[in-house]
Amino acid sequence: MRVSTRLSILVFATSWLAFAPTVNAQNQSERSRPSPTMPGPSRPSASIPDNKLDAAAAAMKSVSTVKEEYGRRIDQAPDDSEKSRLANEGGQALAKAVTDQGLSVAEYTEILQVAQNNVAVREKILQRMK
């Protein structure tokens, strides 16, 4: 049972990563900087418009609901084929949860990355989620 759960989580997480291509692009652009001691291009930290923060907060709620629902469905799936199908369907549902809020998956991913590194942005999003 535990192996099945781990497989479900792995398949589901992998399907979500297919919708986050900006992570690799950002990592590549950071590697191309001349030196870590030289200032690079600034990140769009606190300059995220309020409407985008509102959309990101709403998307986070939806994404959380989708993850819970599909995680449960994957756990209950009878075989690996069904688990895989549900993981793909879940990945599409995750993308839809984001785009229904008026954000692209790339925008959503970027906002989450900024929030992870910027306490002020993170707090703004958390306030909107209440």
Using one digit for the tens of pLDDT, what is the confidence trace for 114-125?
999 999 999 999
Confidence class of residue 130 from pLDDT cuts 50, 70 and 90? confident
Closest CA to 101 of 130, 66, 63, 58: 58
Phi, psi (rounded to 5 degrees) for 43: -80, 150
Q: Check residue 49 and give its pLDDT.
A: 96
Q: In whole angstroms, give the CA distance from residue 28 to residue 2.
A: 36
pLDDT at 110 over 70: yes
The stretch 82-111 carries a mean pLDDT of 94
* pLDDT number for residue 3: 45
For 34-93, the pLDDT digits (tens) are 433 333 334 444 589 999 999 999 999 999 999 999 999 999 999 999 999 999 999 999
